[in-house]
Every structure is written in C-alpha cells, then in structure tokens.
C-alpha cells in the first residue's frame, strides 16, 4: 500500500502524522511510505531520519496526497488537500468531523473517501485508546496554562494556583471526569490548587474520589455547574461525546456570573466547545476576554510538545494503522470493531457521525 505523511498545513500544528519509528514498522511490512519534505522537522524528526526508516521524501504536498492509498494526518485536512486525494482513498487523523464545514463533508462523500477518526477508536471497555494519550498530555498541560493566564500581565486575576501561607489556593472547577478531566485534576492538585470535578456519571466520580483524595466531586447538573463556575478562579471544559459536537453546558449567563478576570480553558473546543462564549484560537494569540473572563480555546494543545506527542501517538496508534495497511479497510472494518466504530465516511455514506448545532448539543 502507498502511505502518505504530509506536512501539517494548519497554523501552529507542529505534530506529524507518524514518526520515523512508525515508518520503519510499515516499511518492514512492505509498504511504501511517502513523507513530505520537512514534515517532521518541528517535532525533531528530519528527512534523513525518515529515509533511514525506509521512506521516500516528496517535495510537494500534492504528490503526497495524490499518491496515498492511506493518508496519515494529525489535524483535519483543508478542502484543497481533500481535492488532491484519490477517490476511494483512506484518510486517518484526529478529524473531529462533527464540527467540520459542510463543504468538507460533501467532498469526502463525493470522493468516496473512507475517513477514520482516531478520536473515536474505542476498545472493548469503551476506552478511546488513541485519543487517551493526547488527552493525558492536554490535561497535564492545563495547570501550566492556567497558572500563566491567571497572571496579571496576561489579563488574569493575579493569583497563584497554590497560594501562599495565609492566602488560600485558587479554586479550579473541571467539567468532565474523563481522561482530560482526571489528568487536569491530578496536575492542578499537584500544583496546589483546590480542585472540584463535575461529571454526570457517578462511577466516574467514585473513581476520582478514590484515586485523588482531596479532590471534591459533584454531579454535573445545571444547578451545580452554575454554583461551581460562580466561585471558580479557573474553569476547565473537558466534555467529549464521541462522534458528536461537544454539548454547550456553560452558558453565557454562567460566564457573566463568574468572578472578573477568572480563566476558562475550553479543551472541548476541537469538538466545537462546551462554553457558549468560546471560539477557536491559535498558539500565537491563544486567549481572549469575553464577559470579563479570560478564555483559552486552542484546539491543539498537545502540539506544543510535538515530540512527546509523536512518540506517545505511535505507541497507541500503530497497531491500527498497520492493521489497515496490511489487511485493507474492508477486512479491518469487518473484523475489528474498534476501527469500525471510528469510521465517519465510507463509500459515499456518513457512518458513526452525528452533527448537532451548538444549541441542540446543549440540551
């Protein structure tokens, strides 16, 4: 199979679709991998590393997209990039198609591209095995992001997460107790903050209560969200519904009721955001102020640690990538439920993808 790894074209996306170690594995199976020139440079992987692993270096994105039977991406391709792809090719990436524009979806269907969303690959226990490592990275980085944007020079309240003797720590409220939420709770607690986690699943709250003594847990009801956000210095939105737009659970009215110059970090922004006042930002200008509250809404937080992200992604994703390359998409879908449930488009049809408006998602 011809496998393509292009350079990520979206601004401030420093990750790459596969590291040289992954290319070596695929080359060992007899597949030809085409890597765009400098695709891995920002993550510390140079062209020579890829060539030693068995790849061929391509000097235009059109060649990589056009040759690939299987295209390995991190972020969702642009419309122009989709137009370069072969009809019937396979596209794999963190696609988040529930928040994609309609013209991109139309093109995927028209070209009969099989779109595999890494974030929806699910094991037998319901765990999102490929997304989880990135979620852990994002959660761990939330503490340092919060500390930075609480600073006075960044527009924040001018307080420390951990406080000092005689001054209490910051109040951190995390909405969602999944991988991101638990990782963020652990990092915030280690940083010295007072942490509260809300989730609608009682078993998740029990798990957090047992794993993280001292972290307060609450059921995620509208009333509790209103109460918690009102006293919070930092609110972390960590809500994910697989294959769907993130539900809007923090309304503008709740944001308006928050303490002035507090901070919102909407980690759900890659799925549309769980805060009504959120909008996507980029690493060059990651935050804005709305309703007198600082909003940090970068979709690709893990891109800031691109090399670590590249290694951890390989560990979780290569079994699925190799299976598709070795067996083909049809046999893989037939025999591997973990992959089948992550297919969003196939043979001109939408599969396992629900598109909701922000208003519908918040019900």
Residue located via tokens 């979206």:
10
249-282 pLDDT per residue, tens: 999 999 999 999 999 999 999 889 999 999 999 9
Question: Of 31, 194, 270, 295, which residue is the catalytic one?
Answer: 270
Percent of the chain with pLDDT strictly greater than 70? 97
Contact 234, 262 (CB under 8 A): yes
Does the structure show a pLDDT above 50 at 362?
no
Q: Which domains can be identified in the chain, with CATH numbers?
A: 2-121+306-351 (3.40.50.720), 131-299 (3.40.50.720)
Q: What is the pLDDT of residues 198-250, one digit of tens each?
A: 999 999 999 999 999 999 999 999 999 999 999 999 999 999 887 688 899 99
Give burial (CB, 10 Å; 0-12/13-18/19+) of 308: middle
- Kindly name the residue from 96, 194, 295, 346 that is annotated as catalytic: 96
37-41, 95-99, 253-257, 299-303: segment of lowest average pLDDT: 95-99
Of the pLDDT bands very low, low, confident and very high (cuts 50, 70, 90), residue 181 is very high
Taking residues 70-94, report their average pLDDT.
96
Q: Could you tell me if 64 and 35 are in contact, meaning their C-beta atoms sit under 8 angstroms apart?
A: yes
Give the pLDDT confidence score for residue 354 in this predicted structure.
66
Q: Which residues of 247-275 are buried (b: 16+ CB within 10 A; e: fewer)?
A: bbbbbeebbeebeebbbbbbbbbbbbbbb
352 as an active site residue: the answer is: no
The predicted model scores a pTM of 0.84
Q: What's the pLDDT score for residue 66?
A: 96
Active site residue 103: no
Query: E strand or H helix at 74, and its extent?
Result: strand 70-75
Residue 358 pLDDT grade (very low, low, confident, very high; cuts 50, 70, 90):
very low
CA separation for the pair 161, 195 (Å, rounded): 10
pLDDT of 307-330, one tens digit each? 999 999 999 999 999 999 999 999
């Amino acid at each position: 199979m011809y496998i393509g790894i292009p350079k990520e074209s979206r601004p401030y996306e420093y990750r790459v679709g596969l590291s040289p170690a992954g290319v070596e594995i695929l080359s060992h199976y007899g597949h030809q991998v085409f890597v765009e020139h400098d695709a891995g440079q920002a993550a510390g992987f140079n062209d020579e590393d890829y060539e030693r692993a068995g790849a061929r270096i391509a000097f235009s994105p059109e060649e990589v997209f056009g040759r690939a039977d299987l295209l390995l991406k991190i972020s969702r391709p642009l419309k122009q990039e989709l137009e370069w792809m072969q009809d019937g090719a396979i596209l794999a990436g963190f696609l988040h198609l529930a928040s994609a524009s309609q013209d991109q979806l139309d093109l995927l269907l028209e070209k009969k591209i099989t779109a595999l969303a890494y974030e929806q690959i699910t094991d037998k226990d319901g765990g999102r095995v490929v997304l989880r490592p990135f979620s852990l990275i994002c959660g761990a980085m939330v503490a340092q992001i919060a500390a930075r944007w609480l600073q006075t020079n960044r527009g924040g309240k001018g307080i420390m997460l951990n406080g000092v003797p005689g001054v209490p720590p910051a109040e951190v409220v995390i909405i969602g107790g999944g991988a991101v939420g638990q990782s963020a709770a652990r990092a915030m607690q280690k940083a010295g903050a007072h942490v509260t986690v809300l989730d609608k699943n009682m078993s998740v709250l029990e798990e957090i209560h047992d794993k993280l003594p001292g972290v307060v847990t609450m059921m995620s009801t509208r009333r509790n969200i209103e109460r918690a956000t009102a006293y919070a210095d930092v609110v972390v939105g960590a809500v994910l519904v697989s294959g769907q737009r993130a539900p809007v659970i923090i309304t503008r009215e709740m944001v308006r009721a928050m303490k002035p110059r507090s901070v919102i970090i909407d980690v759900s922004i890659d799925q549309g955001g769980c805060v009504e006042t959120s909008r996507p930002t980029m690493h060059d200008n990651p935050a804005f102020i709305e309703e007198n509250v600082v909003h940090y809404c970068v979709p690709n937080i893990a891109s800031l640690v691109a090399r670590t992200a590249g290694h951890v992604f390989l560990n979780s994703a290569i079994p699925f990538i190799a299976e598709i390359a070795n067996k083909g998409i049809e046999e893989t879908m037939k025999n591997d439920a973990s992959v089948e449930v992550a297919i969003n488009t196939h043979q001109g049809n939408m599969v396992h993808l629900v598109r909701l408006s922000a208003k519908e998602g918040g019900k």
